[in-house]
């Protein structure tokens, strides 16, 4: 049996720092939220000591890359100015680059000016954009100009409005069409390293999220790496009538299903558990039985 997560995909490498990063073996992206109101870990990482402690732990647990965000995008989150977003980011960029110079860093932002400054002044390795350029029409041009990997996510609406009334005739088909248009734009602009993210929890009901997860393998038709962010989200804790703090087990279950659907990057709060999930899933995928009747 061939590994399920590489059946369709051909473009399973991205170029970072002049070298190719192979995503045919799934990678783990750790989350570092610098916002005081993130849905799970808001305000927990507000000192130098806590940030160093968290990043050190994630690296020891096997983190392959770190995603830093300073703008909460949970439903109904308050608007943060560009100035404040940058003020939250810059000290942490300096700190991470000094303490962990070999760590690949992704910046979670939808603003092209923030992305430009992060790339040119702080050598940030990739941009993770929840709006795939829809919230800033200069973003795609900025990515093309600076030639860094670009994670583009689907979101219906904007963070303040996305969960008010998510509506699709066919959620899988509509998001496939969305990415078809976006991938075409990135190709025309010469953006070489693109990763797609279906955007679990961003403008989707619980049913929409599970429909997407069930048909995640269909997105391999784009022959691009797929990232999923399921970690401790409401599709887990609302389904189980628990809380984000009690959602680690559910996260592991859904990450396993995502790997079966072709996910190449798991974006998570809990790195060790995600790495173990990948290890066990790969053992399962590569277990060949010649003839069990013999």
Residues annotated as part of the active site: 233, 267
* Alpha helices for 147-270 (secondary structure H): 171-189, 206-214, 234-240, 248-260
DSSP 3-state assignment of 270?
coil
What's the count of helices (H) and strands (E) in the chain, helices before strands? Answer: 9, 10
CA distance 26 to 115: 25
* Strands laid side by side in the 27-33 sheet: 194-197, 150-153, 126-129, 104-108, 65-69, 27-33, 265-268, 227-228
DSSP 3-state assignment of 14?
strand
Other CB atoms within 10 Å distance of the CB of residue 108: 24
Angle at 123 between CA 10 and CA 263, to 5 degrees: 30
CA distance 86 to 83: 5
Instruction: Give CA separation, 89 vs 66, 84, 96, 209, 223, in Å.
Output: 13, 9, 10, 30, 33
CA distance 69 to 72: 8
Residues 6+ apart with CB under 8 A from 153: 128, 129, 130, 131, 132, 196, 197, 198, 199, 202
């Amino acid at each position: 049996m061939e590994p399920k997560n590489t059946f369709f995909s051909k473009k399973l490498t991205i170029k970072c720092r002049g070298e190719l990063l192979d995503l045919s073996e799934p990678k783990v992206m750790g989350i570092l939220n610098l916002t005081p109101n993130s849905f799970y870990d808001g305000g927990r990482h507000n000192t130098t000591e806590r940030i160093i402690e968290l990043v050190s732990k994630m690296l020891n647990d096997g983190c392959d890359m770190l995603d830093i965000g300073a703008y909460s995008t949970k439903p109904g989150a308050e608007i943060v100015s560009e100035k404040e977003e940058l003020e939250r980011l810059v000290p942490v960029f300096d700190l991470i680059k000094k303490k962990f110079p070999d760590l690949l860093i992704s910046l979670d932002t939808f603003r092209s000016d923030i992305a430009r400054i992060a790339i040119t002044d702080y050598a940030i390795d990739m941009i993770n954009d929840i709006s795939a350029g829809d919230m800033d029409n200069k973003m795609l041009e900025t990515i093309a100009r600076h030639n860094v990997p670009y994670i583009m996510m689907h979101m219906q609406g904007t963070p303040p409005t996305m969960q008010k009334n998510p509506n699709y005739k066919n959620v899988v088909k509509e998001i496939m069409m969305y990415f078809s248009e976006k991938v075409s734009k990135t190709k025309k602009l010469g953006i070489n390293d693109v990763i797609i993210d279906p955007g679990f929890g961003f403008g989707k009901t619980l049913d929409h999220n599970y429909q997407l997860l069930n048909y995640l393998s269909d997105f391999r038709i784009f022959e691009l790496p797929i990232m999923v962010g399921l970690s401790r989200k409401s599709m887990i804790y609302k389904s189980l009538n628990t809380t984000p703090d009690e959602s680690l087990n559910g996260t592991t279950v859904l990450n396993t299903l995502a790997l079966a659907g072709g996910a190449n990057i798991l974006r998570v709060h809990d790195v060790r558990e995600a790495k173990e999930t990948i290890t066990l899933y790969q053992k399962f995928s590569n277990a060949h039985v010649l003839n069990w009747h013999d």
